[in-house]
Structure 1
Amino acid sequence: MSRMHPDEWRARVELAACYRIFDQLGWTEMIYNHITVRLPDSVTGGERQFLINPFGLHYSEVTASNLLKIDIEGRKLDDSPWPVNPAGFTIHGAIHGHVAGAHCVMHTHTTSGLAVACTDGGLAQNNFYSAQLHEMVAYHDFEGITVHAEEAPRLLASLGSKPLLILRNHGLLAVGPTLPLAFTRLWTLQRACDVQVAQAALGRAIPIPEAVARKTTHDAFQFDARFGGGQDVFDALVRRLDRIDDSYKR
């Protein structure tokens, strides 16, 4: 790795750590789903290049060196023996290519996230976590497996300027100008879905008034760049990961 730009190596280590953290949190789907990161201009000279997981590896097997480097069309730019999942970069490529500040895109099929995505009402404004996401969540109707490029304009229209997207009947998606911020947004949405699914078995929930939700979202400092924009949360999880298994750094 001596000839690799240090900014690329840092991006690789951070993304590989994130894959391992997803595995620890149970946010994996066998060899499917993706977290993608755009490489900085200091590495690419302004070209759009991205890192993505090798198709066929479990998240627990992802390392800094085996991440794939791809272009905006999802074509490999390195000599890795691993392929790119064609469904993996359809959504991600569209967002990276057309959403300002979309440095990182995360997509999951967690059980509670998918369960909420399958409901008519979507995310309910009735718990501590959903109240922190007032007007931050968009929805996109299910069109099947995301391998068709013609879906991209409709998906982008659905996302608009929101940082979170519930893909109906499908799963959750988060976008961020940094990986830690995208992670913190997704974690909050995931927790909201977890609580919503657990609460559904107990009967009617207490709704949170819109004014209170708006205030709660305004006061949710974990998304604020002044307080690290999720960096402190992510760093804590990386330290935990390092105590258990730091092989992602290879």
Structure 2
Amino acid sequence: MSVSAVELAPRPGMSDAEWKARVDLAAAYRWFDLLGLTDLIYTHMSARVPDAPHHFLINPYGLMFHEITASNLVKVDIDGNLVEPSEFGMNPAGFTIHSALYHARPDIGAAIHLHTVASMAVSSQADGLLPLNQHSLRWYNRIAYHDYEGIALDLEERERLAADLGHHHSMILRNHGLLTVGADVPEAAVLMYYLEDSCKCQVATLAGGRDLYLPTPEVCERTAQQYEHKYPRAGVLEWDAVLRWIENKGGTGFRA
């Protein structure tokens, strides 16, 4: 049975495009919960409403990742107003970060922000992400950095966040964690999976305490270009398999 065959219907008055964005976003929350990449109620992922580009969906503040479903996501506008009534609010730092992205980059359809042990460790290392292995070479000379300014409650930080991200799809938030963006949830989520994995590999490699063997700059650049030009964008090949895995491990409750 295909994934779409078990799709639950959207609520009355909701477009199919919005419902798909909701299901994909709820699936991303369930996926990262199953992987253990959570921080209680404090990290956040979002998706732009495809047919209402000044609105985006984000997790209800107070719920953990495994509690989030397609229906209970909070819909807000870029100015921070609730578009639909909700018993939950939204994380104010989450609003600062995600509204900055959607305002500055019309091409962004989704954003993922996590702070895991591995990502916070790498974000605190002066050299940032190192070109240590095939996964991390996807980001060779292709990742942005944003200096830590405290908890992202100051709306004035939005301009600096957007400026530092520039045209990139991934950013290390110094002393904080990771951020990925994509045209849709599958792209942003799969990029985050591999960026987090790269951070785990880096922490493990450095913990070995041995001299490092790095590919040449020419090989690093060639590998990064292979990711860009020899494969579809992240999420295109992987997402249906990810959904099947989530359903096998955790059921279809995220579609409710």
What TM-score do you get using the length of structure 1 for normalisation?
A: 0.93
Percent of pairs with identical residues? 39
2:61 is aligned with 1:55: yes
Q: 1:123 to 1:155 in 2, by over 3 A?
A: same
Q: Structure 1 stretches of 5 or more lacking a match?
A: none
> Equivalents in 2 of 1:136, 1:182: separation in Å?
15
Unmatched 5+ stretches in structure 2: 1-10
Matches of 1:161 and 1:80 in 2, distance apart? Answer: 34
**Corresponding residue number in structure 2 for 1:233:** 238
Structure 1 vs Structure 2 CA RMSD: 1.5
CA distance change for structure 1 residues 66 and 169 in 2, over 3 Å: closer, same or farther?
same
How many residue pairs align between the two structures?
Answer: 244
In 2, distance between residues paired with 1:32 and 1:177? Answer: 24
Kindly report structure 1 stretches of 4+ aligned residues shifted beyond 2 Å: 223-229
* Counterpart residue number, 2:12: 2
1:195-249 CA-to-partner distances (Å, cap 9, x unmatched) read: 00001121221122211111111112xx669636422212111101112311111
**1:70 alignment partner, SS class:** strand
1:51–1:69 contact (8 Å) kept in structure 2: yes
C-alpha spacing 1:232/1:168, structure 2 compared with 1 (3 Å) = same
Does structure 2 retain, via aligned residues, the 8 Å contact 1:131–1:208?
A: no
Report if the CA contact (8 A) 2:114-2:179 is conserved: yes
In structure 1, C-alpha distance between the alignment counterparts of 2:93 and 2:223, rounded to whole Å: 36
Query: Structure 1 residue 2: deviation in Å?
Result: 2.4
Distance 1:86 1:140 in 2: 19
In 1, Cα distance between equivalents of 2:186 and 2:173: 22
**Deviation digits for residues 99-153 of structure 1, max 9, x if unmatched?**
2311111100011011000011111112221112112211111000001011111
1:218 maps to which residue?
225
Contact 1:76 1:84 in 2 (8 A): no
Choose from 196, 199, 210 the match for 2:205.
Answer: 199
Matched, 1:28 2:28: no
- Residues 20-44 of structure 1 show CA distances to partners (whole Å, capped at 9, x for unaligned) of 0010111111001111100112xx3
Question: 1:160 matched to which residue of 2?
Answer: 166
- Residues 28-82 of structure 1: per-residue CA shift (max 9 Å, x gap): 11001111100112xx3xx500100000000000001100110002221111101
Match of 2:70 in 1: 64
Closer, same or farther: CA 154–227 of 1 in aligned 2, 3 Å: closer
**Is structure 2 residue 126 aligned with structure 1 residue 120?**
yes
> What SS is found at the alignment partner of 2:186?
helix
1-side partners of 2:165 and 2:213: how far apart? 28
Please say if 1:135 is aligned against 2:145.
no
Distance 1:100 1:204 in 2: 43
CA contact (8 A) 1:49 1:69 kept: yes
Checking the alignment, whether the CA contact within 8 Å between 1:74 and 1:84 is kept in structure 2 is no
Q: Work out which of the residue numbers 19, 26, 38 in structure 1 matches 2:48.
A: 38
Counterpart in 2 of 1:102? 108
Partner of 2:24: 14
Shift of the 14–225 alpha-carbon distance from structure 1 to 2, 3 Å rule, reads farther
Letter in 2 for 1:217: A
